[in-house]
Structures are given as C-alpha cells and as structure tokens.
C-alpha cells in the first residue's frame, strides 16, 4: 500500500512539473535582438512515423491501383528503313533509357516508343540527352516534330565499340560475297 501511494505521488509530481514547464514556456517574455515578442507561443504538432499518435494514411484499393499502374510503352529501332520491336511493355522512363542505350550501341540511328497499355513495373525518370538525340525530322530544310521518335544527331553516331565492330563485320561480309 505504501509503495503504491509513493508511485502515485511520483507520477502526480511528474505531471505537475511537465504542466508547469509548458506554462512557463508559453508565459515568459521572449527577448530576441532587443524586441519583446508576444507572451503566448504557438506550437505545432510534429508527426514522426513510428511514434504513438502518428498513423500513416492507409491506401484503399483504387489508390493502390492508381499508384502502381503506369502507361506501358513498346520500343522500336529503325534499321534499313524499317522499325523493329526490341522492347515490350515498359514504363516510359525505362523504355526511353533502353531505346537510347540500344541506339547508341548499334548502327540504328532512330528509335521510337509507342504507348501499349498499362504496366506495374517501377519506373525511373529518364530523358534522352538532347545533345545526342533530337525529336524532329528535317525534310526539305524544315523541322518536323515527331513526338516519341528520337534521332541520333549526325556527329554523335559512330562512337561506340558495338557500332564500329558491326561496320567492320559488314565490310568483311561484303568482301566475302564479291569473290563468289
């Protein structure tokens, strides 16, 4: 009985001290740079994840679907005047990244992405480098904007090992075919 009373007294004393400290903070004059600020100080509640009293908003079924569904795109590379499909159903950032990488590594100078449907794959933000790729065709000296189609600029075309080796292979094939 004696222990219980003592613990109750300690808890009561702690509550009183915390209330006094809060009251002191709000009623004391705050002096900053020679100015007297108002006596009451407004406090805001800070929500910290994982602490009691702060619960994150739970997503409903529709919110989850909207959050994880993204538009899917197919990737096409242009070789010998025709577009061939090289990637299926990727989010936009990944499709652009893969198209740019494949275009840089092969002799094809053009790639395009076409909307296909919906995907749940994670997306990475990516935009092709404008110093290497342009989004417009040039016909009769005029620019024709082609959205979703990216063309390698002239000075940036032949630079990677894959491009140079494929040119050498084509030359060897051509030489081999001329003898027969």
For the chain, domain boundaries: 67-160
Taking the alpha carbons of 91, 96, 101, 102 in that order, is the dihedral positive or negative? Answer: positive
**CA-closest candidate to residue 132, choices 93, 158, 164:** 158
What span, in angstroms and rounded, lies between the C-alpha atoms of 38 and 31?
10
Q: In the predicted model, what is the mean pLDDT of residues 10-25?
A: 74
Kindly report, residue by residue over 54-113, the tens digit of the pLDDT. Answer: 565 666 666 666 667 889 999 999 988 899 999 898 999 999 999 999 988 888 889 999
Residue 1: per-residue pLDDT:
47
Is 60 buried (19+), middle (13-18) or exposed (0-12) by CB count in 10 A?
exposed
Residue 72: per-residue pLDDT:
92
Residue 120: per-residue pLDDT:
85
- For residue 2, name the pLDDT band (cuts at 50, 70, 90): low
* Mean residue pLDDT across the chain: 78
Angstrom CA distances, 81 to 63, 78, 140, stand at 43, 6, 19
Q: Please name every residue paired with 144 in a beta bridge, in sequence order, or none if there are none.
A: 137
Residue 29: per-residue pLDDT:
47
pTM, two decimals, is 0.57
Q: In the predicted model, what is the mean pLDDT of residues 28-37?
A: 50
pLDDT of 33 > 70? The answer is no
160: helix, strand or coil: coil
Residue 98: per-residue pLDDT:
92
pLDDT of 7 > 50? The answer is yes
């Amino acid at each position: 009985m004696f222990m219980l009373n003592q613990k109750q007294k300690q808890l009561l004393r702690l509550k009183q001290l915390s209330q006094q400290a809060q009251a002191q903070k709000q009623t004391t004059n705050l002096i900053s740079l020679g100015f007297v600020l108002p006596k009451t100080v407004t406090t805001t509640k800070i929500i910290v994840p994982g602490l009691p009293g702060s619960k994150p908003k739970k997503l409903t079924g529709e919110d989850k679907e909207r959050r994880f569904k993204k538009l899917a795109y197919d990737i096409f590379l242009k070789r010998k005047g025709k577009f061939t499909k090289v990637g299926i159903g990727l989010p936009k950032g990944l499709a652009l990244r893969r198209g740019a990488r494949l275009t840089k590594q092969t002799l094809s100078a053009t790639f395009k992405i076409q909307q296909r449907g919906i995907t749940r794959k994670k997306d990475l933000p990516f935009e092709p480098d404008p110093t290497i790729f342009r989004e417009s065709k040039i016909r009769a000296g005029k620019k024709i904007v082609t959205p979703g189609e990216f063309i390698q600029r002239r000075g940036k075309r032949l630079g990677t090992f894959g491009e140079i080796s494929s040119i050498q292979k084509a030359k060897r094939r051509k030489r081999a075919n001329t003898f027969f």
